[in-house]
Structure 1
């Protein structure tokens, strides 16, 4: 049993504002780029990605082995395809990663709810020249997540989760970022051969 990940309300709003998108997912008009804005990366093509392929495409076998993945389990839902990369068979002290692709803003925001976790405010971030939002959750399970605009109105969500007080917040953040970068490289077709 995997803890169901949740994107908190602030994440979607931060990423859409930071990305300069309208509610339709189209880029908002911008007079010019500035050094403070990330370079707009080309949209990542996700056609053909399915529940059957998401685990192998987002993280290669070699990358999964390096991370210590015990089990990779695909799941899908309305407008999303996900893979849970469990680092332990201990369901009472679950630890691992979640990688999800959302087909649109509605699907991303549709996962938001308020459970026992106590989220920090979502903050703007940049991952491989892509606009993102980062958020940390504290509760029985600690989570660090990144929601990344991959273009075409679609979003990549990467989460690192661990039992509370087992992994420091800074380490959760850096581990989530590293996996997000690997996934983006793999989806872009540039890094699927290794870590």
Structure 2
């Protein structure tokens, strides 16, 4: 299965509910996403994906993720965001194209790892080409072993998962497309406060 910038396949995880193991991150590798209900703190994992984490942090510091929509949200699976080209709800949002874009930066070569996709894992969305991740990422609601080793993991939610759970869900019949999406209001790196 492949994530595409437009069509992330519906994968329902089987098995027991689990949470991501806590990964303590220093402020330089802590990303904070402000949602409508509160802050989500993510421990970025440069030990797993140094190039991807470097690109994510650069985009955060440019303000590229502020006001970007959660354009695809599949209950029981994941919430996808990060299309800085077409997903900015304050400037140039295009509901038909959200999820098909990236950023002005280059796509990245895959940095797959043996880490499992569990509740709270943050992974990079990509097209069929494993080396096509750019700016879009997703946060897992539930475990999805079928993604293990297939998509680059960039972090784990440390706190605020209850706010991720509250993100407006999409239409299952339309592969999670959200008609009136929630957004990342502000995204920052903790070291920059």
TM-score by length of 1: 0.29
Q: Which has the higher strand share?
A: 1
Q: Which has the higher helix share?
A: 1
TM-score by length of 2: 0.30
Higher RCO by CA contacts (8 Å cutoff, separation 6 or greater): 2
Bigger Cα Rg: 1
